[in-house]
Structure 1
Amino acid sequence: MKSQKLIRPVRLLTGLCGMALLIVLFVPLWQIELDAPQYPEGLVLQMYPHKLSGNVEIINGLNHYIGMRTLHTEDFIEFTLLPYIIVFFALFSFAVAFLLMTYRWLSTLFSLFLVFGITAMADFWRWEYEYGHRLDPDAAIKVPGMSYQPPLLGYKQLLNFGAYSIPDTGGWLFLAVGAALLAAMIFQYRINPKKGT
């Protein structure tokens, strides 16, 4: 089974995964939206693979008062590494689709992609924890026992701000690629090895 050649639909789906990952390089991966009475239009922090975007300066100004660190793209090594990791998975997908073409390599691609996804989310949670808990003791506004860790996914109330953390275009594409690779593996697994061409 492991050396079974991939059927054409599976190879095409894997190739499409590679194309989707290249698109991820140019769109935001994640966003945190902030809603408060004084900002009826809302504020948004967007995370691209290589930078922070959105209302970064306004958010930094607000966070200064409660002792949170300011956000700067250059402070995160993830924004240096992530584009290379995405390109690696895109090229790996193309290689599985058009060169390697066996179930063994498809399962290796999916396994590595899954490990990367779990590691990335764990790293994101760690960043949010440090960002929300390591506060400046000399901050202008101090609320005893209060921390400001944004939610990993979903909604959380932070003082008078409601914070929504959700995938953006790139995040949804990542999830779609993971689901597509899993579907490709399941579909290929159901094919009789003698029919794999």
Structure 2
Amino acid sequence: MKKASILMIIGPLFLLGLFAFPLWNIMLGAPQYPDPLGMNIHISGIHGVSEFDLQNIDGLNHYIGMKTIPKAGEMWEFDIFPMVIIGMVSLGVLIGILGFFDKVKYTWFLGWFVLMSILGVLGMYDFNAWLTDYGSNLDPNAIIKVTNLDGTPMTYKPPLLGHQKMLNFDVTSLPSTGAWMMFVGMMMTALAFLIGRTSSRSSIKEETVKWPKGEFLETEN
């Protein structure tokens, strides 16, 4: 249980990488841009991969009626996400310490992993909803209006994951360093649960083997 608890302490600390590295990355490449434009999505805001990338992307988006890329204070997520990560790191480390001193069972490790997974899914859902609004809610008075073959307005929603062709742009959306650090940290907590369960079962078997066999006394009639 000690080894499992140490893993449980270390795993959540990997989430702190989200404060230093981007969670997600979106790159836009086109013939007129030999060096692709890019956005790094952090838990506290959106930054350009290069100095003027966000300015150039906003300039392009203006012609087709897309909103400007939101600043940190314009999305509630950028205020909430850092607090959620700090809370989950603190909770995970606390559970690991309590497990080290045998104050909680290994099942708490799985509980933290499940809770973090749920929060991750909700975060991805929220991110996808923002991308949908960002690429679909266009200004009707935009300079350029592009429609689909059926006449409906074309949407410019970047992909949540993978590659997509948007007009003459190749758009690629992939997890970045922060997301991979979070993944590694979560896998460490899952491993901590498995090691804790194995250790607990081994302890039960050892206690069973050491337990003395019962002796039956014959009674006289």
Q: Tell me the TM-score normalized by structure 2.
A: 0.81
2:181 alignment partner, SS class: helix
Specify the structure having the higher radius of gyration (Cα).
2
Is contact 1:18-1:94 (8 Å) kept? Answer: yes
**Per-residue CA shift, 1:54-91, capped at 9, x if unaligned?**
12111111111111100122221111001000101110
Is contact 1:30-1:171 (8 Å) kept? Answer: yes
1:34 corresponds to which of 18, 22, 28: 28
Q: Which residue of 2 aligns with 1:59?
A: 57
Is contact 1:125-1:152 (8 Å) kept? Answer: yes
Q: Is the counterpart of residue 17 in structure 1 residue 16 in structure 2?
A: no
RMSD across aligned positions (CA) = 1.5
1:127 corresponds to which of 111, 126, 130: 130
Q: Is the counterpart of residue 108 in structure 1 residue 117 in structure 2?
A: no
Is contact 1:25-1:86 (8 Å) kept? Answer: no
1:187 corresponds to which of 195, 210, 214: 195
**Per-residue CA shift, 1:100-158, capped at 9, x if unaligned?**
54223212211110100110011111111111110111111111131100001110111
CA shift at 1:193, angstroms? 4.1
Q: Which residue of 2 aligns with 1:156?
A: 164
- Write the distance in 2 (CA, Å) between the matches of 1:67 and 1:98: 52
- Write the distance in 1 (CA, Å) between the matches of 2:202 and 2:193: 17
- Write the distance in 1 (CA, Å) between the matches of 2:12 and 2:120: 16
CA shift at 1:194, angstroms? 6.0
1:190 alignment partner, SS class: helix
- Write the distance in 2 (CA, Å) between the matches of 1:10 and 1:38: 53
Q: Which residue of 2 aligns with 1:96?
A: 95
Deviates more, 1:95-104 or 1:139-148: 95-104
2:199 alignment partner, SS class: coil
CA shift at 1:182, angstroms? 2.0
The letter of the residue matching 2:203 is K
- Write the distance in 2 (CA, Å) between the matches of 1:140 and 1:178: 46
1:182 alignment partner, SS class: helix
Q: Which residue of 2 aligns with 1:168?
A: 176
CA shift at 1:170, angstroms? 0.5
The letter of the residue matching 1:124 is F
Structure 2: stretches of 5+ with no match in the other structure = 148-152, 205-221
The letter of the residue matching 1:155 is H
- Write the distance in 2 (CA, Å) between the matches of 1:194 and 1:35: 55
1:136 alignment partner, SS class: coil
Is contact 1:13-1:184 (8 Å) kept? Answer: yes
- Write the distance in 2 (CA, Å) between the matches of 1:189 and 1:66: 56
Is contact 1:49-1:83 (8 Å) kept? Answer: yes
Alignment: residue pair count: 190
